[in-house]
Structure formats: structure tokens, C-alpha cells
Amino acid sequence: MDTLWGVLLVYAVPLGAAIAIYLFRRSRSDRAAVRAIVRAREEGLTTPASLHPSIDLSRCLGCGMCAMVCPEKGVLGVSGGKALLVKAANCIGHGACKEACPTYAIELVLGTAEQGVEVPVLSPSFESSTPGIFVAGELGGIGLIRNAISQGRQVIEAVRRLDGIGRGEELDVVIVGAGPAGFAATLAAHAAGLRYRTLEQDCLGGTVARYPRRKLVLTAPVELPVVGAVKLRETTREALLEFWECTERETGIEIRYQEKVSAIEPSRHGFIVRSSSGEHQTRAVVLALGRRGSPRKLGAEGETLAKVVYQLEDPADYRGQRVLVVGAGDSAVEAAISIAAESGTDVTLSCRGDGFPRAKPLNRQKIEQCERDGSVRVLRKSQVECVDEASVSVSGPDGGERFGNDAILVCIGGELPTGFLHAIGLKTEVRYGEP
């Protein structure tokens, strides 16, 4: 009997120690997850911007693999033995969490039960409710870069099956947008010998080009038309854009930049695509616009100067400069704070209202502190009137003011593409946490 108790003791002690360590670590993990959720709520990071994971708790084992493989720190966590979405706003739909889940408990969805996302109604071949107009990539609800690239290739295959392709004087297809889907569609059209024209209102990369610097954007290999398998892993925004630029040069594809599409109208043999540079007669159209739309403009004289930009790349770019930031939301407040932290900067923040009601509470506290310590000058109830190379004029309740300026960053939101879809007659539907 003593021998039996001795054997049990030999095994029970390390087993008990292992259980105690596991419970301690789980308790610590739970507390950390709860603190992260509280911070995310305070910072307004609980609403997903696009495609994001939905977790079936009945299947979830709480193993934490999803959080471990997620390239974005703090997006997922584990609490109470179950995985959960913590900083939903930071998720850009990599999909690594879904692939890593051993029990298939994760589905990538659009929208939430409280806040729906409007997307165009599409056929299995990605054709819209208007025959001949196709939608690919993020605009259609696909946030993953590799899936958007795949769609870009597939829509061109569908275009090639349309009657009239290769005949007549009009183009075979106009591709709107040069993000992942539009770039892949352009390569596919080029490889197929189609008469194509790609129009991009901004620069190569679309939404990807607007991501923060060094952000991880691709975590698995993709298949590009003409190029073949692209075995890039753990790829940052900069590396991916550099690869695309190289591919653009080597393949000889043609993309017209700084050309914004304003309307698409039916014609006898297809469509007339109206843009800032004229009209394009085409049999088919591929919309690869992304979901972020076009940045809203100031409407001020001189806004077209190169020193006026609509996205913050790197605060360090503004060292030693006099900078005006325009806006009242989180992006404007965060930009002003980060630029003011750089050496030698003179930062002014202009907002139309009396404060920053749309900004997160924490950001409001930070900008108020910056105003108190003098690192950021805040012009309330103000509006930019005129911009020139060396200065800017701003009107306010006490009259106008003109001051020296080297750069202007406009953060006043964008014009979402849903209005454009309705204007050209495409049917849409709202997704509430659905694939």
C-alpha cells in the first residue's frame, strides 16, 4: 500500500504542478484580455472596418492559435477559455486566424449584427446586376489580398466569354482601380490580348498604398497572371508595392494614373466610361475600386498644390516644417499629435466645429493636453480659404488669418463608393455579420 501511495505521489506532484501553472497562466491571460478589451473600448477600436473574423464559441477550444498567428498585434485574444476579437478596428482580414483554427470555429464576415456593410449584389462570376459590369476585390466584400488577386483574374475570364469581345472599335474592358484586384485584372487582360484600359484615380496599390508604413499585408503566396506563383511571405506594404512596380515595368502593362471615373452609362455595344480625361467606349467594365472611396477635398483655392496631401505616411517626413492638419476626427487628431512629437515642427490643427466630438475620448484628452502645452495650436470653427506655396489663409469667428506653411494634411473623410454604385444602377445588399 505504501508503495502504491508512493507511486501516486510521484505522478501527482508534477501533474498538480502542471495544472497549477496552466491555471495561473490562463488566469493571467484572461486578465490581460479583459484589460485589452477595456482599452480597445476606450480607444474606439471595437468596430471592424471591413472583413474580420467571427468566432463560433461552441466550436472554439480556446487554444489561442488564432491570436498567435495573427500578424496584427492585439487584434485577437483569449478569455474564459474562448477566443475573442479585441481590437477589431485594426483587423484588415489577413485570414491567417481562420486557416490556423483546428476546429474550423472562425469565419471571415462583413459587418456586425449592429452595423451592416453595403456591398453590390453579384453572380458567381462576380457580374453585377447590370450585365457587363463586374466587381472584384474589396468593393465586393473581399478584404484578403490573395483573394482579391484571384478575383481579378477570374473576372477577366468571365469578360472573355461575353459576346462582342474582340470585335468592333470599342475597348474590350475598362478596369477601374489598380489595387490588388485591378492590378491582377490588368495583368490577365494583357496576357489574354484584350483591348483594355486601366484607370486609377490615385497610385498603384489602391487601398494597400494607404496602409501605415511597414504594415504586414500579405502572409501567403499568391498567383499572378503573367508572373505566375509569387512566393512572398510575411510581406510588408513597401515590399509588395515595390514588387508590383517592378512587375508593371517588366510586363509592359499600361495603367493611367490620376484619372478618376465620374460616370458609367450604357451604350449600343456596351458602356461609356466618363473620366477626368474624357470618354472610353467599352464592351465591359471591371470595378476594382476598394471600399475607402475618394478623399474629400477642401474646396479651397490652391488645394491642388503638391504640399496638400490626404494621408499621413510618416510623421518624420515633417520634421522642421510648419504643418496644418485639417479635420476633427481621430485621423486628424492622431496626425497632429504624432507630427507635433517630431523635432522642429510647428503644428496647427483646424476644425470646422468647436471641438472633436467624433474623436475617441483618449485622443480628445491627448489633443487638449497638446493644446495646453503649446505643441499644437488649435483653430476651432475655422475653414481653409486659400493655399499658396509659402502660406495658408484660414477664416474663423474672429476673421481671417494668414500664416506661414510648408505642408497641409487634410483628414476630413472620404466619399464612399456606394453612392457611385447606385448612380450607375447597380443593386446592393447589406451584410450584418455574414460571409
Q: Which of residues 397 and 36 earns the better pLDDT score?
A: 397
Please answer whether residues 173 and 160 qualify as being in contact, where contact means their C-beta atoms are separated by less than 8 angstroms.
no
d(CA 149, CA 183): 8
Domain count, the chain: 3
Asked whether the beta carbons of 140 and 170 are under 8 A apart, the reply is: no
Pair 247, 260 in one domain: yes
pLDDT, one tens digit per residue, over 219-271 is 566 777 877 777 666 677 788 888 889 999 999 999 999 899 999 999 988 99
Which residue range(s) make up the domain with 8? Answer: 2-109
Residues 252 and 166 in one domain: yes
Name the grid cell of 334: 492622431
Q: How confident is the model at residue 190 (pLDDT cuts 50, 70, 90)?
A: very high
Residue 400 has pLDDT above 60, yes or no: yes
Q: Are residues 22 and 81 in the same domain?
A: yes
Co-location of 242 and 206 in the same domain = yes
Q: Which residues contact 156 (CB under 8 A, 6 or more apart)?
A: 173, 185, 188, 189, 192, 194, 225, 286
Q: CB neighbours of 379 closer than 8 A, spacing ≥ 6? A: 348, 349, 350, 351, 394, 396, 401
> Worst-scoring range by mean pLDDT, 27-31, 82-86, 176-180, 409-413?
27-31
Same domain, yes or no: 410 and 422 = no
Cell of 37: 478589451
Residue 175: its pLDDT value, please?
97
Indicate whether 192 and 261 sit together in one domain. yes
The letter for the amino acid at 168 is G
Q: With respect to residue 300, please indicate whether it lies within any of the assigned structural domains.
A: no
Determine the longest span between alpha carbons in the chain, in angstroms. Answer: 97
* Residues 126 and 159 both lie in one domain: yes
Q: Which three cell numbers stand for residue 117?
A: 456593410
CA dihedral in degrees (135, 139, 142, 147; nearest 10)? Answer: 50
Give the integer Cα–Cα distance in Å for 41 and 261. 38
By the 8 A CB rule, do 273 and 174 touch?
yes
Higher pLDDT, 45 or 68: 68
Percent of the chain with pLDDT over 90: 43
Both 73 and 187 in a single domain?
Answer: no
How buried is 161 (Cβ within 10 angstroms: 0-12 exposed, 13-18 middle, 19+ buried)?
Answer: exposed
Residue with cell 486628424: 332
Cross-strand bridge partners of residue 387:
392
Report the range out of 46-60, 94-108, 172-186, 351-365 with the highest average pLDDT: 172-186
Residue 224: predicted pLDDT? 78
Cα(347)–Cα(379) distance, rounded to whole angstroms? 11
- What value does the mean pLDDT of the chain take? 84
Same-domain check for residues 180 and 327: no
299 lies in a domain? no
CATH label of the domain that carries residue 188: 3.50.50.60
What is the model's pLDDT at position 296? 82
Would you say the C-alpha torsion 184, 186, 191, 194 has a positive or negative sign? positive
CATH of the domain at 43: 3.30.70.20
| DSSP percent split of the chain into helix, strand, coil, nearest 5 | 30, 25, 40
Residue 24 pLDDT > 70: no
Tell whether 221 and 201 lie within a shared domain. Answer: yes
* pLDDT exceeds 60 at position 1: no
Range picked from 144-158, 162-176, 410-424 for highest mean pLDDT: 162-176
**Per-residue model confidence as pLDDT tens digits over 149-162:** 888 999 999 999 99
Whether residue 59 is found in the same domain as residue 191: no
* CB-facing half-sphere around the CA of 280: CA atoms within 13 A: 27
Amino acid at 77: G
pTM: 0.72
298 within a domain of the structure (yes/no): no
Residue 127 or residue 360, greater confidence: 127
- Cα 363 to Cα 46, 74, 348: the distances in Å are 15, 19, 16
Task: Identify whether residues 276 and 332 lie together within a single domain.
Answer: no
- How do residues 125-140 score in pLDDT, each as one tens digit? 999 999 999 999 878 8
**pLDDT at residue 142 in the model:** 66
Residues in CB range of 312: below 8 A, 6 or more apart = 331, 335, 338, 339, 409, 411
Residue predicted with more confidence, 388 or 115: 388
Distance CA 407, CA 424 (A): 37
Q: 93-107, 121-135, 221-235, 389-403 — which is least confidently predicted?
A: 221-235
DSSP, collapsed to helix, strand or coil, labels residue 76 as: strand
Distance CA 100, CA 83 (A): 13
Contacts of 211 (CB under 8 A, 6+ apart): 92, 217, 237
Please give the share of the chain, as a percent, with pLDDT higher than 70. 83
Asked if pLDDT for residue 16 goes beyond 80, the answer is: no
